[in-house]
Structure 1
């Protein structure tokens, strides 16, 4: 019987290996930028066309390569970083496994031009499908230029899995930002389809952060710096007011390498405890420098996940460093032990607490309820309560009241449910009255039932259906701004907003590009207050990114949900009876009145027989 096992041909083995390293254009961006940094470049330029699908080029002024090195660089596991096994555990450079260029050459058409400063002429190599097509001397500036064309031209199945140009460009921008933040002393630029997106002059870390995250952080950054024998931590964290709904502005670097670590992120979050909400995320750019032998960077193909020898020590150091920084700049809350003079002058404070008054207080029911039962909310079972018309009722009334009070928490924690699972109700209800509870719920009474409606989720459903109709049919009318507002965004947000402009136009927003990362808001829907256009647009983008992290939905669906959330009346808003009536009418004219766009219930129904059971009737 013939042998069945054989070695794979090199070009097939290379394509398989490339799948681990090069998953999309952004993967190649990361590898090529890191190679340029390792080459000692002081200027690195990135050019992309069609988000890197048709062209991706990195030009640097680094050390360059000899003719032999240029050819060897495309061989698998060819590296200048490791000579023996010991070197693997003392890695301080970015690339070291020698797979990047071999993987890129396996799935793209590559042209390399390189020259060392001491050489008179450079070398040009053209490679396609891992095969060298051409090698020749060429006149070129000192440094290296690598041009990658037609990514996945020979693996059409992989190419079909790439997202839209806008989505892929966002990944490219993310990788570019990570490398640029790690090396603020190097000039970086990014040009997309001939338009410059980033132009980052060399400077210090704070200047680089402001260049990338926006000048609005200028007075909102707190410096972190702690040096110990085990590790050094430095960088910046945002003041509590900079916290957002998304994690977008959070960066961790270990030995200048960007990493993802939920564990270390938790350390930072715990340092902000009681200063920001549970659903808020502070901005931070933090660097950890420690002995390479204490960390393994080779546990993940992209090297974004690493393993520490002692994670608990790192956690404690990070938490303490951020806490110390916030306390040092008087960000953390402090107790004020000085009594207000106006309180001290009150009659109840000034007068002596005599024996008679003490006895009278102790005999009171309020004092006894607290001291004897040891709980503030205790209600005695035999106590009779007088309500309305003077009739006595049992604690069933208290039970109902408690249930209503607990609904605020219960409905907020209600898991999202599919609309089909909700019970269908008679939509031809005639309501006899409306009232509002806690400025959050609308109580609507009918013949033999009443509905408790969450005003925000109900309004979200109404707006969502209105926007859905508009995006598929007649556009929503736009009110032109008398004084158009200009919004300056980060390059990443500018790319995102550009992709949303056609749909926003249909939904009543007239927004036009104004330079590289600025936009002019010429008009908004009628329900956006004049003068608030800029804040509305920024808030919309922030919420869109928040929804994008929670659920992977189509772009248009996420936009509809975002705008519905943004424009809906929020808890805490007081409604007139007319507004409550309109809300109920509009809700029950919806196709699906019982659930919000995300599947949360818009109302809870109480029937008369349920109430009678509560009262033991």
Structure 2
């Protein structure tokens, strides 16, 4: 008896549907894409029980011809491509011809549609992939699709659905990218008869404010770059604010995931582990330069020439957050005397002996003096293969643990190359006689902290050693700075490659615009 056999038709349909439709949000995504391809200017989404009971998407698009309606639930039927070569120039949101077939196979689905060129529409009711009812139907031009009891015949998938609230959050996450990519389309989303999103047609800027708030918009920087057949534009998070946790990437208005681009942007910001910069990036590219036929859900994309994409992205970042003059503090004399007394002759002050406040063209900036100096020292150390040493007037004697002494011996050559001079004596005692010339002073506590931190690493690399030296040699919180020292600190900070974070990823400064101040004082 043969052990290998063909799947039954209903089993094939169910397995294929599971590849395209993972959860209610997958249904919402596919139906919205169909509405957009139908050139709808208004899309209404109603959801019940997180989409497990009902998902209804209505639009005012061109509609479906009556004779075509029974065909839309058949697998590999589409109005969007005809030949193999069409796959190389996809301009529509949908193209695989699987969405409605997959949805109808695992639900009870009703499709009501009237094409704009016909006087009467049609309704079909499909259960488990089979048409059970069809009749003429009166409605305005457009399409309404209602999906009920998702996965009713696929219990192994239905039992893995999450709570209604969790599934609705997933639906909302799918809807928001469409709202951003198509701001000219009116978009409504309701859950259990409660309106959640109600967006009128507008600009991308208006959508950002409506969805995420004015504070989010104020903390983003608009950019635009272009090259041969490629244009990249959107918004990047200011490097001077905490992560805003919004990341959207669009390729020809399609929301996609590209790990290389996400990592490229994250690496540039150099944020602490776990933090991710926010960005909303639109890549407009000739269709033949990309491959969208990678994943059944069309969430991934391949670029024919990734190098061109990354080169343009690098240019965009440099022009936006990397430009040296963008946040440069332009100090100017106080016209009518200093706010804090005549001793100050510049618009720069120190507060709590820890932070430097300076006026900028657009507001003010708060600089963490320790983090800023740490960044300055770190990049100075990075630029040189070695540093001259300056002798200490009074050598410092420090006693270490046996483990620390062993680690000190391992990195002795590196420390000496960068200007440290010391002698290891008996009893784990070390006499420190010299320090790098770029460091003004150092204490026993600083030396102990450097060695203790390095000792925690099994095999400390050069970069880790330099970070530790910079951190524990920098200006401390509580150190009093003169006006000249504050101005020099800010000027040196903005001459570094990455002025917005310390080597460990903490922010060096916070930028507060005049608009933010006016909102705080309710002037706006």
TM range, smaller chain = 0.5 to 0.7
The aligned residue for residue 121 of structure 2 is 122
Stretch moving more, 258-267 or 28-37: 258-267
Alignment partner for residue 395 of structure 1, among 415, 419, 429? 429
**Residues 225 and 3 of structure 1: is their aligned pair in 2 closer, same or farther, counting only changes over 3 Å?**
same
Q: Distance in 2 between matches of 1:163 and 1:410?
A: 46
Q: Which residues in structure 2 correspond to 1:515-526 (within 5 Å)?
A: none
Deviation at 1:409, TM superposition (A): 7.0
Deviation at 1:239, TM superposition (A): 1.3
The aligned residue for residue 242 of structure 2 is 243
The aligned residue for residue 154 of structure 1 is 153
**Alpha-carbon contact 1:243-1:283 (below 8 Å) kept:** no
**Alpha-carbon contact 1:271-1:323 (below 8 Å) kept:** no
Deviation at 1:330, TM superposition (A): 4.5
**Alpha-carbon contact 2:20-2:297 (below 8 Å) kept:** yes
The aligned residue for residue 317 of structure 1 is 312
Q: Which residues in structure 2 correspond to 1:138-149 (within 5 Å)?
A: 138-149=137-148
**Residues 330 and 374 of structure 1: is their aligned pair in 2 closer, same or farther, counting only changes over 3 Å?**
closer
SS of corresponding position for 1:37: helix
TM-score norm. by structure 1 comes to 0.56
Identify unmatched segments of 5+ residues in structure 2: 334-343, 347-389, 396-411, 433-443, 459-475, 478-524
SS of corresponding position for 1:31: helix
Is 1:286 the counterpart of 2:304? The answer is: no
Q: Distance in 2 between matches of 1:148 and 1:397?
A: 78
TM-score norm. by structure 2 comes to 0.66
- Deviation digits for residues 309-352 of structure 1 (CA, Å, limit 9, x no counterpart): 1212211211211221235695456899x9x999xxxxxxxxxx
Deviation at 1:9, TM superposition (A): 3.4
Q: Which residues in structure 2 correspond to 1:63-74 (within 5 Å)?
A: 63-74=62-73
Deviation at 1:266, TM superposition (A): 2.5
**Residues 4 and 362 of structure 1: is their aligned pair in 2 closer, same or farther, counting only changes over 3 Å?**
closer
Q: Distance in 1 between matches of 2:235 and 2:300?
A: 22
The aligned residue for residue 364 of structure 2 is none
The aligned residue for residue 448 of structure 1 is none
**Residues 80 and 373 of structure 1: is their aligned pair in 2 closer, same or farther, counting only changes over 3 Å?**
closer
Q: Distance in 2 between matches of 1:330 and 1:111?
A: 58
**Residues 395 and 14 of structure 1: is their aligned pair in 2 closer, same or farther, counting only changes over 3 Å?**
same
**Alpha-carbon contact 1:242-1:282 (below 8 Å) kept:** no
Q: Distance in 1 between matches of 2:391 and 2:154?
A: 84
**Alpha-carbon contact 1:263-1:315 (below 8 Å) kept:** no
Is 1:95 the counterpart of 2:129? The answer is: no
**Residues 365 and 40 of structure 1: is their aligned pair in 2 closer, same or farther, counting only changes over 3 Å?**
same
SS of corresponding position for 2:423: coil
**Alpha-carbon contact 2:227-2:312 (below 8 Å) kept:** no
Q: Distance in 2 between matches of 1:411 and 1:394?
A: 18
**Residues 309 and 265 of structure 1: is their aligned pair in 2 closer, same or farther, counting only changes over 3 Å?**
same
Structure with the larger helix share? 1
Q: Distance in 1 between matches of 2:324 and 2:178?
A: 29
Q: RMSD between aligned alpha carbons?
A: 3.5
Identify unmatched segments of 5+ residues in structure 1: 343-360, 385-392, 414-437, 440-617
Is 1:253 the counterpart of 2:250? The answer is: yes
Q: Distance in 2 between matches of 1:121 and 1:104?
A: 25
SS of corresponding position for 1:185: coil
Is 1:378 the counterpart of 2:421? The answer is: yes
The aligned residue for residue 302 of structure 2 is 307
Deviation at 1:192, TM superposition (A): 0.3
- Deviation digits for residues 78-113 of structure 1 (CA, Å, limit 9, x no counterpart): 111111111110001111001000000000000000
**Residues 412 and 47 of structure 1: is their aligned pair in 2 closer, same or farther, counting only changes over 3 Å?**
farther
- Deviation digits for residues 364-413 of structure 1 (CA, Å, limit 9, x no counterpart): 577xx99x95544432235x9xxxxxxxx761799999666555577799
**Alpha-carbon contact 2:226-2:312 (below 8 Å) kept:** no
Deviation at 1:16, TM superposition (A): 0.8
Count of aligned pairs between the two proteins:
379
SS of corresponding position for 1:233: strand
The aligned residue for residue 134 of structure 2 is 135
**Alpha-carbon contact 1:74-1:102 (below 8 Å) kept:** yes
SS of corresponding position for 2:422: coil
Q: Which residues in structure 2 correspond to 1:60-459 (within 5 Å)?
A: 60-244=59-243, 248-273=245-270, 276-277=271-272, 279-327=274-322, 330-331=325-326, 373-381=416-424, 395=429, 406-407=451-452
- Deviation digits for residues 49-74 of structure 1 (CA, Å, limit 9, x no counterpart): 01100000100000001112111110
**Alpha-carbon contact 1:222-1:329 (below 8 Å) kept:** no
The aligned residue for residue 606 of structure 1 is none
SS of corresponding position for 2:152: coil
- Deviation digits for residues 214-238 of structure 1 (CA, Å, limit 9, x no counterpart): 2222322211111221310011112
Q: Distance in 1 between matches of 2:446 and 2:214?
A: 50
**Residues 160 and 88 of structure 1: is their aligned pair in 2 closer, same or farther, counting only changes over 3 Å?**
same
Deviation at 1:271, TM superposition (A): 4.0
SS of corresponding position for 2:67: helix
**Alpha-carbon contact 2:250-2:281 (below 8 Å) kept:** yes
The aligned residue for residue 434 of structure 1 is none
**Alpha-carbon contact 2:105-2:127 (below 8 Å) kept:** yes
SS of corresponding position for 1:65: coil
**Residues 329 and 182 of structure 1: is their aligned pair in 2 closer, same or farther, counting only changes over 3 Å?**
farther
Q: Distance in 2 between matches of 1:112 and 1:329?
A: 56
